[in-house]
Amino acid sequence: MTAGAQSGPIVAFAVLCALVIVAATLAGWLRRRTSVRGVVRRAWREWQAGRTETALGRLERLLPRLVVDRDHPEDVWAVAALAEMRACAGDAAEALALAGRLPLRGAQLDQDALDWLASRAVIYARAGSLPKARADRGRLYSFDPRHPRLVEVDQEIAGTAASPRTVDAFANVSPDDFEELVGRLFAREGCDVQVTESSGDGGVDLVCRCSGDREIVQCKRYIGHSVGVDAVRSLYGVMADFGASRAHLVTTSTFTDGAQAFAIGKPITLVDGEALMVRLERAGLA
């Protein structure tokens, strides 16, 4: 048998192996893409049905395995969806952190990127970052003045701009009255609210039952200085004592960068003064 005849089966086998590897890789990619897309769709259905914590939890469990770049558009959509939900829930810090991961740098944007840009504009508006929302809106309009989400972006910007943006009204509100106001806000948003005892509560002011889950709330009426990481870390530390699935830290002020960084990826909602005013307005309490 000649050398050429002997090498023929070897080459064919090598080609077959290569084809099998390519097919397996493609099948895995398609399964992963379908899986991520399916999770996002399911989460949006749950969100629209009012099962907000279920939707958020589904996407947050997905988050660690996502690759957030332009080569993985389905993954980017999952991050954008989670950011929009977080912004709508009033968790401005988490929403803005997630929005910052969207791959939107560069002068040229394809259709996927324009959709992400629209999503980020909505996130910025809901989180109270109007200058950034308007900048994204202008960029979106320059690329596609008929983009299907442009009207929604304009509505979000207009709604946020019309809401009270100052927290000066809290200057003469006592801590107890502020706590009572936050309790009414959570009750208006559908939670059963219980005020804790004044001592021995680990800094927790309210215990809420929201969509079947037990959640804790700490209220900090600060004027003139920000809430630091120690307060967030302390609240996170007492969650297990209350059997809480989520903690909320609500302030009239802002959060330091360290506090915001600590909360990322944890079941903690940080609500600063601007986000609080938006939620109070939407609940008819401001």
Q: How many CB atoms lie within 10 A of CB 224?
A: 7
Give the three-class secondary structure for 219: strand
Surface-to-core class of residue 111, CB atoms within 10 Å of its CB (0-12 exposed, 13-18 middle, 19+ buried): exposed
CATH code of 168-282, in short, is 3.40.1350.10
The rounded distance, in Å, linking the Cα atoms of 173 and 219 is 13
Give the three-class secondary structure for 250: strand
Supply 94's token pair.
């988490």
The rounded distance, in Å, linking the Cα atoms of 80 and 51 is 18
Q: What is the pLDDT of residues 155-171, one digit of tens each?
A: 888 877 665 455 666 77
Q: How many CB atoms lie within 10 A of CB 267?
A: 18
Look at residue 207 in the predicted model and tell me its pLDDT: 94
Whether the CA torsion 191, 197, 198, 202 is positive or negative: it is negative
Contact 118, 83 (CB under 8 A): no
The rounded distance, in Å, linking the Cα atoms of 282 and 77 is 27
> What letter does residue 152 receive in the DSSP assignment?
H
The CA dihedral of 48, 150, 264, 231, to the nearest 10 degrees, is -90
Residues of the chain with CATH 3.40.1350.10: 168-282
Supply 78's token pair.
């999952």
> What letter does residue 163 receive in the DSSP assignment?
S
Q: Amino acid letter at 4?
A: G
Crossing angle between the packed helical segments 150-162 and 111-126, to the nearest 10 degrees: 10
> What letter does residue 168 receive in the DSSP assignment?
G
pTM: 0.52
| pLDDT tens, per residue, the chain with 286 residues | 555 555 556 666 566 666 656 555 554 544 444 588 888 999 988 888 878 888 889 999 989 989 999 889 999 999 999 999 888 877 777 888 899 899 998 778 899 999 999 999 999 888 777 788 889 999 999 999 999 999 999 988 887 766 545 566 677 778 888 899 999 999 998 899 998 875 455 689 999 998 888 999 999 988 768 888 989 999 999 999 999 999 999 998 888 888 988 998 899 999 988 888 888 888 888 7
Residue 219 CA, distance from chain mean position: 21
User: Superfamily assignment of 33-162 in CATH?
Assistant: Tetratricopeptide repeat domain (1.25.40.10)
| Strands across the sheet containing 268-271 | 192-195, 206-210, 213-220, 246-251, 268-271
Q: What is the pLDDT of residues 74-118, one digit of tens each?
A: 999 999 999 998 888 777 778 888 998 999 987 788 999 999 999
Look at residue 24 in the predicted model and tell me its pLDDT: 55
Residues of the chain with CATH 1.25.40.10: 33-162
